[in-house]
Amino acid sequence: MSQADQENVHPVTPVYLGRYLLSHLREYGLLFALIAIMLFFQVMTDGTLLKSVNITNLFLQNSYIIIMALGMLIVIVAGHIDLSVGSVMGFIGAFSAVLIVQWELPVALAIPLCLALGALIGAAQGYWVAYWQIPSFIVTLAGMLIFRGASLWLLEGQSVGPFPKEFQALSTGFIPDFMSPGFRDGLLALFEVRRINAGALVVGVASALVVVWLNLRKRQQNVRYGIEEEPTGFFVARNMIVAGALLFVVFKLATFRGLPNVLVTMAVLTVIYAFITERTTIGRRIYAVGGNEKAAKLSGIKTERLTFLAFTNMGMLAALAGLIFAARLNTATPKAGFAVELDVIAAVFIGGASMAGGVGQIIGAVVGAFIMGVMNNGMSIMGIGIDYQQIIKGLVLLAAVVFDVYNKRKRG
Amino acid sequence: MTALLKMQGITKAFPGVKALDNVSLTVNTGEIHALVGENGAGKSTLMKVLSGIYPAGSYIGDIVYDGQPAKLAGIADSEKLGIIIIHQELALVPLLSIAENLFIGNEIAKAGVINWPEVYQRTEVLLKKVGLDEKPATSLGKIGVGKQQLVEIAKALAKDVRLLILDEPTAALQENDSQNLLQLLLELKLHGITSILISHKLNEIRQVADRITVLRDGATVSTLDCHAEHISEDQIVKDMVGRDLSQRYPDHQRQPTDVLMKVKNWNVWHPELSDRQVIREVSFTVRRGEVVGIAGLMGSGRTELAMSLFGKSYGRKISGDIAIGGKAVQCDSVDQAIAAGMAYCTEDRKEMGLILDETIVNNITLANLAAVAHKGVLNNAEEQKVAERFRRAMNIRTPNVFQRVLNLSGGNQQKVVLSKWLFADPQVLILDEPTRGIDVGAKFEIYAIMNELAREGRGVVMISSEMPELLGMCDRIYVMCEGQFVGELDAAEASQERIMSMIVKE
Ligand SMILES: Nc1ncnc2c1ncn2[C@@H]1O[C@H](COP(=O)(O)OP(=O)(O)OP(=O)(O)O)[C@@H](O)[C@H]1O
Ligand SMILES: [Mg+2]
């Protein structure tokens, strides 16, 4: 068979490049889609989208969706779905208001209590799904109703606030500049800007370097295994775009108020969950359960426990999202989290996860969430009504999934 | 003889693999044409090209059918021409009745309303044609695989088939069911139906084929005419593997020592039907360095026995004792069973053995992730090394170990399942139909691996419906019938007749 020669040498012809791009449309597609959407709104909003203030806002507005998308990706990869996250998020927000505003509990105590309650709620739902084999769609649909009602009951239909400063910092705080003033002054002169958070810039440059380094390492590994297909030019271009975008965003943030606390929380969580899903045994097992539960079970994997854990984790992340959301609004309202589950689920599917389970990546879910976020933000700035916004988001979701299925067919 | 079908210069490539390289195939009207070749030779792919599953344009080459060039854009096109394919995996709906299955997608209806009397009437005619004595309303899940296979053929007949393609139809069948099916093919031939038969069972091929085309590594090696000359199995094998393979079973000199696994009074009840006992008072032993066979008919409870032993993966109200290495072991879940040193290699690789969407690497390490991880963090380099090792040892045909298992040929998938369990390093390995769908060369390799395992002092239990293979490989054979062990034979005294007579006596 002419396998061996096909394997190692890739003649770099336009035909080959074209074919490569076609067969990896999905991975590039997501990145391109995000960039295209950003450019589109940048133009349509007369440059408002990429202003420092707005970029900061983008993160503040979408962090809770991204955080929940991390948990939702795992639930979906495991072959399930969680419709209750919006309600749970709202309920925990309400619960935190009761604890902090009404009972005046210290914030440092209230936060862990809320996270624990979230995990407990997730566990309670996961219990039915995992050990009773009740479809997650039904269990979490029930949960969605229950916790929507519970928030109303807890808040007695009222908004409760405001929160103390240190709680608000969860969402609206920024990381203070930790670099020396001398260094900062140097940067101010260099970039000719009025203010700059030097620490933020340093963190940004460092993380861009780390991302490039990780990609490089991955590529080297693939080359060693003889499975690297990406042409060098593509690799360089992709990394330049990613690193460039990262630097651009960080520069914008640094010249405003620095890195928002939520951004850091979100980034750290993303890294942790990407690591768990890609590099740990538990991650591998979750993919196995979603891919073929029977085979996973017969391989000695405790499928029930994994499902249970996936929901518990989702509950905890929904609680965290609830806290962040309440902190940003500075009040808990009974309407908080309404229909948010749809945005979260949409983000995960736009990011390439499969409804059947076993397929999907953390980074895809995050990019999917950003795509949703940028669309929400851009359309709001443009003054597009909520009616059209919904329609457009629905179409984008459908397009992404159709694109997936089409790609899969072509490959098969 | 006129040619019904001419496939010329067919080339089909997948990323990294040239599955077919300039293959030609000519099938004459009214003949049974056998297609043989090693796992991954390209047989299924060629048939998928022929039936339009890989549409015109996705491959290079020409198909001439009935003297006309055929450009098939999909299954619908090929079915219009009377080309019907029955896949390696059956495509039936277990919850529907036989009649419903027969006319799926081809319903007898007016304006969307199904004409049930006619459906039942035609079903009866078709069932008679294929010699299946079942009621049209019986739900498909209730009849055995052999009968389901006949339903598939009846379904093809319902569509006015002219060229019937059968991809390993007898792989999952019992001897007599296979014979039925082959007889049916001969009968259909009398009615002018041409067939293409893919099989790894060469004796069957010799029995019915008029001509044989041999594929190797995606290319046509030879076409043998069974009427012109006497074709021996060895000759076919030689063309398939490209060398002489005089022996079917590797030499073994086994010296079983002390008892390794002992099962006593094992009872299992059906998971749903609470009044049905599936396994009754089964006791047996496996010694170190021994290969033990379990013979029995389809449905005799062999798989159920194995799965219930393996961490109670099947059944309810399970009672009995398992001891491994002289110690009683608790086997309430699969991970406990694995920890106790057991492994069970399933007969149903797609449903229960593999994660089809995952890579070869991920499948091989799945049952023993701890061995390639440190504190729960996977060592990818180590994983890849392990997978490479098995790819070489088992001769898994793939461009690299990062291929998705979905893309492997049936036989190579089987080797991945086996690799997975070998990597789990068990003391007792239960193999359920380990050579199903595997070519002769690879069978030999698998037998050699079983010998190797025995030589290392492990115990091997082989469940198989192919009696020659049990007789050729086992030191002892237990005979199972209706959930009970009805006899035990030493290799020296065992024969096909004795096993059958034990089964029949019950
Ligand atoms: N969709 C696919 N993508 C990539 N490779 C494929 C795909 N389908 C088949 N192949 C490869 O093509 C080759 C031929 O496969 P095919 O299924 O035709 O073999 P086969 O002769 O039917 O083998 P078996 O006897 O094991 O069923 C194999 O190497 C297989 O891995
Ligand atoms: Mg095949």
pTM, rounded to two decimals: 0.84
Range A276-280 contact pairs with CB under 8 angstroms and sequence separation of 24 or more: A277/A73, A277/A74, A277/A77, A277/A361, A277/A362, A278/A361, A278/A362, A279/B377, A279/B378, A279/B380, A280/B373, A280/B376, A280/B377, A280/B378
pLDDT grade for A264, boundaries at 50, 70 and 90: very high
What is the Cα–Cα distance from B475 to B485, expressed in whole angstroms?
17
Are B400 and A225 in contact (CB < 8 Å)? yes
- Counting as low any pLDDT under 70, the low residues of chain B are 1, 245-246, 506
Q: What is residue A28's three-state secondary structure?
A: helix
Query: Per-residue pLDDT averaged across A341-360, rounded?
Result: 91
pLDDT computed for residue A14 by the predictor: 61
pLDDT computed for residue A402 by the predictor: 84
Q: Which of A2, A299, A309 to mutate to test binding with chain B, by most B CBs within 10 Å of its CB?
A: A299
Using one digit for the tens of pLDDT, what is the confidence trace for A143-152? 999 999 999 9
B432: enclosing H helix or E strand: strand B428-432
Structure tokens at B367: 């049952």
Query: Per-residue pLDDT averaged across A393-409, rounded?
Result: 81
Q: Name the residue of B407, B413, B435, B438 whose CB sits within 8 Å of the most ligand 1 atoms, as the mutation to test its pocket.
A: B407
Identity of the residue numbered B281: E
Look at residue A347 and tell me whether its pLDDT is greater than 80.
Answer: yes
The ligand 1 atom at the shortest distance from the C-alpha of residue B439 is 25
pLDDT computed for residue A212 by the predictor: 94
- Given a contact cutoff of 8 angstroms between Cβ atoms, the answer to whether B38 and B442 are in contact is yes
- Taking alpha carbons only, the member of B122, B75, B71 closest to residue B101 is B122
Sorted by sequence, the CB contacts under 8 Å of residue B184 that are 6+ apart come out as B130, B131, B150, B153
- Given a contact cutoff of 8 angstroms between Cβ atoms, the answer to whether B280 and B267 are in contact is yes
Which stretch, A52-66, A110-124, B44-58, B466-480, has highest mean pLDDT?
A110-124
Of A175-189, A259-273, A359-373, the range with the lowest mean pLDDT is A175-189
pLDDT computed for residue B385 by the predictor: 92
Sorted by sequence, the CB contacts under 8 Å of residue A311 that are 6+ apart come out as A75, A80, A82, A122, A123, A125, A126, A129, A130, A136
pLDDT computed for residue B227 by the predictor: 82
Q: Atom 5 in ligand 1: which residue has the minimum CA distance?
A: B407
pLDDT computed for residue A102 by the predictor: 93
Q: Does the interface predicted TM-score (ipTM) exceed 0.90?
A: no
pLDDT grade for A8, boundaries at 50, 70 and 90: very low
pLDDT computed for residue A9 by the predictor: 41
pLDDT computed for residue A23 by the predictor: 65
Structure tokens at B91: 């495509």
Q: Atom 9 in ligand 1: which residue has the minimum CA distance?
A: B407
Using one digit for the tens of pLDDT, what is the confidence trace for A236-245? 988 998 899 8
Q: Atom 10 in ligand 1: which residue has the minimum CA distance?
A: B407
pLDDT computed for residue A412 by the predictor: 47
Considering only CB atoms, which chain B residues are within 8 Å of A6?
A: 16-18, 399
Considering only CB atoms, which chain B residues are within 8 Å of A1?
A: 17-18, 21, 217-218
pLDDT computed for residue A206 by the predictor: 93
DSSP string across A297-359: HHTT--HHHHHHHHHHHHHHHHHHHHHHHHHHHTSB-TTTTTTHHHHHHHHHHHTT--TTSS-
B202: enclosing H helix or E strand: helix B202-208
Nearest CA in chain B to A280: B377
pLDDT computed for residue A90 by the predictor: 96
Q: Is the peptide bond before A162 cis (omega within 30 degrees of 0)?
A: yes
Residue scoring higher pLDDT (A280 or B103): A280
Residue with tokens 């009649």: B99
Look at residue A411 and tell me whether its pLDDT is greater than 70.
Answer: no
Structure tokens at A68: 């929940």
% residues pLDDT > 90 (chain A): 57
pLDDT computed for residue A3 by the predictor: 41
Neighbours of B95 (CB within 10 A): 10
The ligand 1 atom at the shortest distance from the C-alpha of residue B38 is 25
Q: Atom 3 in ligand 1: which residue has the minimum CA distance?
A: B407
Could you tell me if A288 lies within 8 Å of chain B, comparing CB atoms? yes
Look at residue A299 and tell me whether its pLDDT is greater than 80.
Answer: yes
pLDDT computed for residue B502 by the predictor: 86
What is the Cα–Cα distance from A249 to A255, expressed in whole angstroms?
10
Are B399 and A7 in contact (CB < 8 Å)? yes
φ, ψ (nearest 5 deg) of residue B399: -65, -35
